[in-house]
Structure 1
Amino acid sequence: MVFIRAAEAKDIPSLQTLFLQLGYQTETAIGFVE
C-alpha cells in the first residue's frame, strides 16, 4: 500500500497510529458482524 510506505518513510509513529486505528476499526467491524 502506497500510503503506508509514505507514512513509514516519513514518520514511524504516524504509521503505528495508522495501524492502531485500522486494528480498532477491524475489531469493531468483526464484533458488529458476529
Structure 2
Amino acid sequence: MELLVIMGVVLNNIDETLMKIKEIIKKYRIYLNTKKL
C-alpha cells in the first residue's frame, strides 16, 4: 500500500514538473520570437 502512495506522489510531481517545463518552453519561444523581430 505504501508503495502505491509513493508512486502516486511521484506521478503527481512529474505531472506538475511537466506543466512547469511546458510554461518555461512557451516563455522561451516567445523570447526567441521577440528577439527575431
TM-score bracket, normalised by the shorter chain, equals 0.5 to 0.7
* Percent sequence identity over aligned pairs: 4
Quick check: which has more Rg, 1 or 2?
2
RMSD: 1.5
Whether 1:24 aligns to 2:7 is: no
Asked which structure has the greater RCO (Cα within 8 Å, sep 6+), the reply is 1
Question: Displacement of 1:33 after TM fit?
Answer: 0.5
Q: How does 1:4-19 map to 2 (within 5 A)?
A: 11-19=13-21
TM-score, length-normalised on structure 2? 0.63
TM-score, length-normalised on structure 1? 0.68
Aligned length: 26
Provide structure 2 residue ranges, at least 5 long, that are not aligned to the other structure: 1-9
